[in-house]
């Protein structure tokens, strides 16, 4: 193990990245609900005690106020980390994100920059039902001016958060609600740039592209030997915008088949953009695997209809290979 590496949880990795940024730059602050007690998932644990309530700011329960304040701070030279608790609540701040943060640099000829990071945990949250279990990365990828990141591992939650804080543009930062306690080795010397995917497996039978919770499903399938004799090329996209077109296109052209898998609703999901782009550029056969267009249910049997699984992945893989 490298001298700069250690075991961390997904939450601890993000906390470490934010701590380092705050130590290095007094203009880095965080604001949101319940940050003083460490945040809903412990991703701010100990930071208010270390940096004070003027830099780890507890706010009223008003997402539009939180985001509007952060946009103003960013334009004034502060580098805010904005905590939305879960992406479902961020819908109360859509105007501030879409019409203010995303457009300012363009509308004013680059005179203003909005270097904020909006943390919006995505994905199914067990037994939390329809208003707390959404994956809306495609919404924000559709908006010019926004960067969209979806870390799947502790290493990437550390590295992508550091890159996001340094980017100078508004970043929609989407951690998964059920990954906070997962553990992994985190090398603090390893850079994880925005827009660069990661290979999880090398193979020539088909290309599988995924992100966020889908990465864990692919890893489970690999560990269980569920693919059998099938040798997939598996890519963790890591960032939705910009996305690593070069890596995806090289793989899709070589294998001739592309499966895109995401926990978001399949209809109009970002997988459609990847599939269409690959089909246009390489002529490969494509298939998508996402959730049905239904609200996530509270009962487990209903919730499971929206969840990804190894069984669903293998079924989609086999169906694509028969095309």
CA dihedral angle for residue 198, residue 200, residue 202, residue 204, rounded to 10 degrees: -90
Distances (CA, A) of 92 to 40, 84, 114, 122, 156: 18, 10, 19, 15, 28
Residue 138 CA to residue 119 CA, distance in Å, equals 16
Active site residues: 132
SS (H, E, C) 134-191: CCCHHHHHCCCCCEEECCCCHHHHHHHHHHHHCCCCCEEECCECCCCCCEEEEECCCC
Contact 262, 214 (CB under 8 A): yes
Q: With residue 79 as reference, give the H or E element that holds it.
A: strand 79-83
Contact 36, 86 (CB under 8 A): no
Question: Parallel, antiparallel, or unpaired: how do β-strands 5-9 and 183-187 relate?
Answer: antiparallel
């Amino acid at each position: 193990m490298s001298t700069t590496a250690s075991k961390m949880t997904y939450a601890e990795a993000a906390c470490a990245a934010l701590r380092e940024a705050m130590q290095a730059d007094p203009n880095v602050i965080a604001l949101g609900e319940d940050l003083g007690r460490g945040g809903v998932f412990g991703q701010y644990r100990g930071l208010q005690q270390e940096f004070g309530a003027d830099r780890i700011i507890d706010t009223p329960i008003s997402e539009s106020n939180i985001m509007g304040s952060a946009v103003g701070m960013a334009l004034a030279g502060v580098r805010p980390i904005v905590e939305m608790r879960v992406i479902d609540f961020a819908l109360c701040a859509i105007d501030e994100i879409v019409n203010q943060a995303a457009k300012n640099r363009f509308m004013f000829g680059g005179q203003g920059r909005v270097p904020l990071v909006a943390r919006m945990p995505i994905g199914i949250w067990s037994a939390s039902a329809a208003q707390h279990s959404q994956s809306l990365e495609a919404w924000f990828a559709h908006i010019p001016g926004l960067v969209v990141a979806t870390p799947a591992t502790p290493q990437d939650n550390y590295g992508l958060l550091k890159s996001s804080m340094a980017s100078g543009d508004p970043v929609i930062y989407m951690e998964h609600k059920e990954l906070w306690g997962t553990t992994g080795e985190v090398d603090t010397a390893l850079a994880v740039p925005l827009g660069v995917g990661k290979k999880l497996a090398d193979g020539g039978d088909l290309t599988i592209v995924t992100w966020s919770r889908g990465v864990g499903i692919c890893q489970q399938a690999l560990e269980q030997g569920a693919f059998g004799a099938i040798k997939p090329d598996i890519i963790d996209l890591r960032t939705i915008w910009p996305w690593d077109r070069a890596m995806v296109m090289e793989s899709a052209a070589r294998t001739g088949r592309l499966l895109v898998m995401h926990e978001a609703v399949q209809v109009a999901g970002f997988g459609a953009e990847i599939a269409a782009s690959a089909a246009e550029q390489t002529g490969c056969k494509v298939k998508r695997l996402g959730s049905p267009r239904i609200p996530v249910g509270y009962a487990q049997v209903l919730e499971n209809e929206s969840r990804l699984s190894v069984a669903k992945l293998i079924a989609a893989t086999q169906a694509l290979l028969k095309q």
